């Protein structure tokens, strides 16, 4: 794995998307899943929410234009396993997610794309959201090696499960190479499972 796969720091402005339990159907509605590549999904991130908000959606707010960190609430990305969701947000321009908690499949999909999802306790997250809403131009610096998020509030400790954090920091988030490295141990494991041989022995 080349060293440029390492994801240690994400720097940039923040975009505040309030609300809990935001599901992947809202992030990318199912009709945009009728495709065989991810190329076009970025244009449709949160499309239906944005249409209904008539320009008042955070993704259309000029103050947040060009933001790289998306600040979200609790259980973000719940529901469908569609990787189109993080693909859409990444292609829209986000490179990291900061929230109170993330749904597991969404989290795993993000790691597989090299996108960190870090968490803050609710009270601290609320303070950060308020700060970014008051001063959207401030730079945020997410440092995965230190486990901190720097903003005008100073450095806050952010959490991420260690396995996933290491995958990003060490540039090993493209799991295929890691899994292939097990070599014949894969076949050896299969051979020990009674069903793989059709329960013949």
Partner 1 sequence: MPRSLLDKVWDAHTVRELPGGQTQLFIGLHLIHEVTSPQAFAALREARLGVRFPKRTFATVDHIIPTDSQRRPLGDPLAEEMLQHLERNCAEHGIAFFGPGSGRQGIVHVIGPELGLTQPGLTIACGDSHTSTHGAFGAVAFGIGTSQVRDVLATQCLALARPKVRRIEVTGKLAPGVYAKDVILTIIRRLGVKGGIGYAYEYAGPVVDAMTLEERMTVCNMSIEGGARCGYVNPDETTFAYLQGREYAPAGAAFERAVAWWRAIASDPGAAYADRVEIEGHALAPTVTYGITPGQAVAVDERVPFPADLPAEERAGVEEALGFMELRPGEPIAGVKIDVAFIGSCTNGRISDLREAARVAQLGRVAPGVRTFVVPGSQEVQRQAEAEGLPEIFRAAGFDWREPGCSMCLAMNPDKLRGRELCASTSNRNFKGRQGSPTGRTLLMSPAMVAAAAIRGHVVDVREVLG
Site size for partner 1 (CB under 8 A):
63
* Choice from 105, 141, 150, 153 touching partner 1 (CB under 8 A): 105
Does 34 sit near partner 1 (CB under 8 A)? yes
Residue numbers 12-31 binding partner 1 by CB under 8 A: 19-21, 23, 25-26, 29-31
Crossing angle between the packed helical segments 104-112 and 84-92, to the nearest 10 degrees: 60
Does 167 sit near partner 1 (CB under 8 A)? yes
By beta-carbon proximity to partner 1, the closer residue of 123 and 137 is 123
Pairing mode of beta strands 69-71, 96-99: parallel
Does 192 sit near partner 1 (CB under 8 A)? yes
By beta-carbon proximity to partner 1, the closer residue of 22 and 96 is 22
Pairing mode of beta strands 140-143, 9-12: antiparallel
Residue numbers 36-95 binding partner 1 by CB under 8 A: 36-38, 48-49, 51-52, 74-75, 78-83, 86
Residues 28 and 84: beta-carbon distance below 8 Å: yes
CB of 117 to partner 1, least distance (A): 12
Q: What does the binding site for partner 1 look like in residue numbers (CB under 8 A)? A: 19-21, 23, 25-26, 29-31, 33-38, 48-49, 51-52, 74-75, 78-83, 86, 101, 103-105, 108-109, 112-113, 122, 161-167, 175-176, 178-180, 182, 185-186, 189-190, 192-196, 198-201
């Amino acid at each position: 794995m080349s060293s440029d796969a390492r994801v240690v720091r994400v720097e940039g402005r923040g975009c505040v998307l309030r609300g809990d339990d935001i599901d992947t159907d809202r992030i990318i509605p199912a009709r945009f899943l009728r495709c065989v590549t991810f190329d076009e999904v970025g244009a449709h991130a949160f499309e239906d929410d944005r249409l209904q908000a008539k320009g008042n959606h955070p993704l259309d707010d000029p103050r947040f234009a060009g933001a790289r960190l998306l600040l979200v609430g609790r259980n973000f990305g719940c529901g469908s396993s569609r990787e189109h969701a993080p693909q859409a947000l990444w292609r829209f321009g986000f490179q990291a997610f900061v929230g109170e908690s993330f749904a597991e499949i969404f989290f795993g999909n993000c790691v597989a794309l090299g996108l960190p999802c870090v968490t803050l306790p609710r009270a601290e997250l609320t303070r950060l959201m308020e700060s970014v809403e008051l001063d959207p131009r401030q730079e945020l610096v997410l440092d995965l090696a230190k486990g901190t998020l720097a903003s005008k509030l100073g450095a806050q400790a952010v959490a991420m499960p260690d396995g996933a954090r290491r995958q990003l920091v060490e540039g090993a988030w493209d799991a295929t190479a890691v899994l292939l490295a097990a070599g014949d141990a894969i076949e050896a494991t299969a051979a020990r499972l009674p069903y793989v041989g059709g329960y013949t022995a």
